[in-house]
Amino acid sequence: MSRVSTPETPPRSRLVRMAPRDPHETGRTASTLELFFDLVFVVAVSVASVQLHHALTEGHVLDGLVSYGVVFFAIWWAWMNFTWFATSFDTDDWLYRVLTVAQMAGVLVFAAGIEAVFTERDFTVVVLGYVVMRVAMIAQWLRASRDEGPARAATRAYAAGIAVVQVCWLGMLLLPESLQLPVWVVLAAAELAVPVVAETRGRTPWHPHHITERYGLFTLILLGESLLASSNAIIEALHDDQDLGSLISVAVLTVVVTAALWWIYFWPPHHRALDGRLSRSLRYGYAHYFVFAAAGAFSAGIEVEIDALTGHTALSDVGASFTVTIPIAVFVLGVWWIAIRDVADRVVNTVLPVGALLVLCDPVIPVPVTLTAVIMVAIVVVLVLHPPLSATRPPRAGRRHGPGAPAIPGGSS
């Protein structure tokens, strides 16, 4: 049986043995350090959303989406790596805190280089900031590897794998600009492969309620960013004496849609999506990239829509509307696929994907109302009338439960 460590009285004046924590620990919640860590990522997400807004408004749709996908991958992956490591090995002593702050410093460096990725396709600063974050994680994994437990082989594999990939990231900067993006795709795949390989060498424990709480908190941050960005854009438009009625309609749309996205995300019991199977764990951990990226892009889309109303965008009205409806549809479909479809009845499993498709097509559907807001409200009504299925529902054939199920491979990366 794994030895466990449960910090109770931070901060500590001495180092604590970094042993695996009990995955069944009662009352496990996000720490203040984890919340502080999340706030730094608000800066990076905000900068990425602003740059996406500028790219879309200027009509550079493909370049903007590619650049956004690149930088958001690094944001999401660094955040997820720390989150899963913390659920397994958080000691909250002074060295753990210092290394976490070092990762936060890397996030700020990374954020400073995001604009250059969008405008010049220059990866230098973002790669340097990313490597700072990852080197701090290597130190954390090496420290965890000192424990003589069943997770030791996995922790060493994590440290070695992450280190090799970081050397490759630095080497990418030496390549011609035309080769950097294709190499980026290869190295991103290598990052994703590290947890899969490491977890075949040992098991790292994870706390399903703690993990899902952390994902939920980051979702709230992203949705809050959408409200803030849209509010600032509306205020700026009002200063230019723009039509108040149109801006009010955008404000109502933003509030209604954001509230509906929140309702949809938190409707299912997310911890039930982590039943121990490899495929389920990968689906939950990795597919959140699309949910998070869509939430961040939604704020950019609202700002583009305001630009369209005020005549400050190169996009057509239909094109501007798609910058709003596509992120909404991706978010809804992502949450449905990750956490809803296995705990919902046939009605919910029909309404959500169909509703997402209708939202996606809203810009080309000739109706005199804001169809997106109506659809999102209708989805929420359906969710109210059809709560998640009971946890006593018989599992699907082939599903594995209990302590013999494999640990999540992406869980501690």
pLDDT digits (tens, 9 = 90+) for 221-271: 999 888 887 777 777 777 665 667 777 788 888 889 999 999 999 999 998
Task: Please indicate, yes or no, if residue 300 is contained in any of the structural domains.
Answer: yes
Cα 368 to Cα 204: distance, rounded to the nearest angstrom:
54
Low-confidence ranges of the chain (pLDDT < 50): 1-7, 10, 392-413
Write down which residue in 181, 199, 217 finishes a domain. 199
Same domain assignment for residues 143 and 231: no
Contact (Cβ atoms closer than 8 angstroms) between residue 243 and residue 177: no
Residue 279 half-sphere exposure toward CB, CA atoms < 13 A: 4
Q: Helices 371-385 and 346-361, interaxial angle, to 10°?
A: 170
Same domain assignment for residues 257 and 166: no
Contact (Cβ atoms closer than 8 angstroms) between residue 374 and residue 49: no
Same domain assignment for residues 165 and 212: no
The residue range of the domain holding 67 is: 32-199
Contact (Cβ atoms closer than 8 angstroms) between residue 172 and residue 117: no
Residue 139: its pLDDT value, please?
96
Same domain assignment for residues 192 and 314: no
Same domain assignment for residues 216 and 364: yes
Task: Please indicate, yes or no, if residue 54 is contained in any of the structural domains.
Answer: yes
Task: Please indicate, yes or no, if residue 117 is contained in any of the structural domains.
Answer: yes
Task: Please indicate, yes or no, if residue 163 is contained in any of the structural domains.
Answer: yes
Residue 333: its pLDDT value, please?
97
From the list 29, 40, 158, 15, the residue with the least C-alpha distance to 96 is 15
Q: What residue type is assigned to position 79 of the chain?
A: W
Domain count, the chain: 2
Residue 240: its pLDDT value, please?
63
Same domain assignment for residues 155 and 215: no
Segment (H or E) for 182? helix 177-199
Same domain assignment for residues 188 and 322: no
Question: 3-class SS at 6?
Answer: coil
Question: 3-class SS at 227?
Answer: helix
Task: Please indicate, yes or no, if residue 412 is contained in any of the structural domains.
Answer: no
Same domain assignment for residues 56 and 155: yes
> What CATH code is carried by the domain that includes residue 350?
1.20.1410
Residue 12: its pLDDT value, please?
56
Same domain assignment for residues 185 and 220: no
Residue 204: its pLDDT value, please?
83
Task: Please indicate, yes or no, if residue 14 is contained in any of the structural domains.
Answer: no
Same domain assignment for residues 126 and 257: no
Task: Please indicate, yes or no, if residue 24 is contained in any of the structural domains.
Answer: no
Contact (Cβ atoms closer than 8 angstroms) between residue 329 and residue 312: no
Same domain assignment for residues 189 and 238: no
Contact (Cβ atoms closer than 8 angstroms) between residue 261 and residue 223: yes
Contact (Cβ atoms closer than 8 angstroms) between residue 375 and residue 358: yes
The two tokens of residue 2 are 């794994």
Task: Please indicate, yes or no, if residue 10 is contained in any of the structural domains.
Answer: no
Write down which residue in 167, 199, 231 finishes a domain. 199
Same domain assignment for residues 375 and 349: yes
